[in-house]
Chains A and B, each alone.
Chain A
Amino acid sequence: SQQGEEDPQALSIQEGENATMNCSYKTSINNLQWYRQNSGRGLVHLILIRSNEREKHSGRLRVTLDTSKKSSSLLITASRAADTASYFCATVGASGGSNYKLTFGKGTLLTVNP
């Protein structure tokens, strides 16, 4: 079953603008992760935020986590055409033990226009 649900499903912006994608989930988590997928390719891990963290940065990426609202956001600043891809949030459940299963949302398709 889907755990994370991204919003919006699709986002189109101009190069240089910021892109914000949101994710909601249903159950308690150990951590939440964001991935990027270029068309027809495998997924690339972008950033992981633990359940006891509220914000994390990596280059042009900023992720926030609000466990009280069971939501997260991914901000890409100063977007580039190369950022065009699908972005997925995924969660590792708090009660998963050592299997570290990831449950994915359906993704947000980001298009950055030159």
Chain B
Amino acid sequence: AQSVSQHNHHVILSEAASLELGCNYSYGGTVNLFWYVQYPGQHLQLLLKYFSGDPLVKGIKGFEAEFIKSKFSFNLRKPSVQWSDTAEYFCAVNALLHGNNRLAFGKGNQVVVIP
């Protein structure tokens, strides 16, 4: 079945540590890829997106993600996290080949940064 997979649902790390969240998808063809973030008590916000060009995309707040087509992956990274990065992170995929306009989401990564 077509899906979006995020591993390590709960991540706990200290400030200044590096963060990498994995995202794999099973859709073929052209895809648009997104990472959304949900800070405690807030609504989902777009962190970054990829749909063409440079596979390394930069987002807000120092986040970046790399699209590796051969691995069907779009991992999110931040070299040095801050306490304010505590949030839930969702990877999402829009599979254009299948002609639909919906985003399929992964189950999310709950990230807790300890001061």
A binds B: no
Interface residues of B (CB under 8 A from A): none
Interface residues of A (CB under 8 A from B): none
